[in-house]
Chain A
């Protein structure tokens, strides 16, 4: 590995830790980010000459902290604040003890995802401070002007400071609720990264979930990590030349086995008193474990959707359960369930598309055609419209 690669690697794995530690030590978010950037620039300049340090993270944190001290010393010399600040920076743990505070990134996650911040700011702050994406990169990912994103970050940091949002892992009584907030942000990030162009968001969501699971293991965090790994493992096969490929038709030999194995291992450790993410992960695991589409354990999937519905009753969950029931008990049984949902999901293209598919399998071709046309009119993306149009043509020519 070259030195530049080593710096890149350190950036991906250490940025969040460096920023998180500097925020704790200085209490100043902007200063923390600037000094972390300086430390990485310094690594690029000195590592080629001096070699990659044995503990890159500790080296970077120490360098960033010294930089912070320099800046504070310069800025505060005349104001007399130095005496107050310097001991904080100088007396704090030397590099050897950095491992004693492994939870700075956790503090940072919970503060970024504090419910007193708007959701879009939670997402942006997480990407900036924990994942190290730049403001222009985040702006591009969310299709907003750079100035808007910069403003969003400034406002969020100002509120953290002025309304004194604490920098800590919440106490036990608040933890379940706050954890749900953090997981919600990570899953939102992952879903934003579902499309090919924004893959880095999905990658970051998985990376941050791994950090969360390793620092503060919980069944739902593990469930979310597994769910994201299973979904991501299918990325290469989800589309072919921009066209959607159904789960049944995907080339399963091209699914990422390493991700699937990691997901299964995480899920295996956690499966007790399942929450919504664990259940969804367990469903995704049924697909991931089937080497061929026809090996899928649809009975288990139908049962799992029933558990999901108990936790979060929703017609969309029922629709998914209907698909599984159709595989177990036949398309007629599935169709009966789907028809019951029509009033609850008016205009939902996946309902029309599911009906169309079931009607086709029941050889009710005229009704299937009508349902495909309905789905075509409702589908939100070109890829989905092309997929449905293809199905409609196949039906007409078969």
Chain B
């Protein structure tokens, strides 16, 4: 089954998040993913009077932000946790695992 990994960082904490080794180790189990542009480039749509309005910034004002995402294919949650734990950002940021609704 597929899991989406939200790779979340805290701007006050820094570390080496370069994922090359992780990508090599994870191999084909990582289906796709990418780093994301910063929050200053984010745009959010909100519902308004039957339509939507567009605003600058992320949908939630938290200190942590989603810095990147990966989609991984795993047999179960333990395997997903094992893969996520090896991601370099796991040492200084948070990683949220969400099963894809299949």
A residues adjacent to B (C-beta < 8 A): 114, 116, 162-166, 170, 174
Q: Closest residue to A173 on the B side, CB-wise?
A: B82
Tell me which residues from 50 to 85 in chain B have a Cβ below 8 Å from any Cβ of chain A. Answer: 75-78, 81
- List 10 extra interface pairs beyond A163-B97, A164-B1, A166-B77, CB under 8 A: A114-B77, A116-B77, A163-B77, A163-B99, A164-B77, A164-B99, A165-B78, A166-B75, A166-B78, A170-B78
CA distance A170 to B82 in the complex (A): 12
Residue ranges of B at the interface with A (Cβ–Cβ < 8 Å):
1, 75-78, 81, 97, 99
List the B residue with the shortest CB-CB distance to A171: B78
Q: Report chain B residues within 8 Å CB of A165.
A: 76-78
Give min CB distance, A277 to chain B, whole Å: 25
- Which 5 residue pairs of A and B lie closest in terms of their CB atoms, listed nearest first? A166-B76, A164-B76, A163-B99, A165-B77, A163-B77
Q: Which single residue of chain A is at the shortest CB-CB distance from B99?
A: A163
A-side interface mostly: loop
12 A–B pairs (Cβ distance < 8 Å), ordered by A: A116-B81, A163-B77, A163-B99, A164-B76, A164-B77, A165-B76, A165-B77, A166-B75, A166-B77, A166-B78, A170-B78, A174-B78
CB distance from B4 to the nearest CB of A (A): 12
Residue numbers in B under 8 Å from A174 (CB-CB): 78
Q: Which residues of B contact A166 (CB under 8 A)?
A: 75-78
Distance in Å from the Cβ of A210 to the closest Cβ of chain B?
Answer: 27
- Shortest beta-carbon distance from A24 to chain B in Å: 14
State in angstroms the CA–CA spacing of A116 and B78 once bound together.
Answer: 9
- A164 cross-chain contacts in B, Cβ below 8 A: 1, 75-77, 99
Q: Find the B residue at minimum CB distance from A160.
A: B77
Q: How far is the CA of A174 from the CA of B82 in the complex (A)?
A: 10
Q: Which residues of A contact B78 (CB under 8 A)?
A: 165-166, 170, 174
Nearest-Cβ distance from residue B29 to partner chain A, whole angstroms: 14
Asked whether, in the complex, the Cβ of B99 is within 8 Å of the Cβ of A162, the reply is yes
Q: How far is the CA of A164 from the CA of B98 in the complex (A)?
A: 11
Residue of B nearest to A174 (CB): B78
Q: How many angstroms between the C-alpha atoms of A164 and B99 in the bound complex?
A: 8
Interface centre among B78, B81, B99 (most CB of A within 10 A): B78
A170: chain B residues at CB < 8 Å are 78
Bound Cα distance A166, B81 (Å): 12
> In whole angstroms, how far apart are the Cα atoms of A174 and B85 in the complex?
13
A174 to B75, CA, bound (A): 16
In whole angstroms, how far apart are the Cα atoms of A163 and B97 in the complex?
Answer: 9
- Residues of chain B within 8 A of A114, CB atoms compared: 77
Q: Which residue of A lies closest to B1 (CB)?
A: A164
Contacts of A163 in B (CB 8 A): 77, 97, 99
Residues of chain A lying within 8 A (CB to CB) of residue B75: 164, 166
Closest chain A CB from B42 CB (angstroms): 27
Residue among A114, A162, A164, A165 having the largest count of chain B Cβ atoms under 10 Å? A164
- Cα A170 to Cα B81 in complex, Å, equals 13
Question: Which single residue of chain B is at the shortest CB-CB distance from A114?
Answer: B77
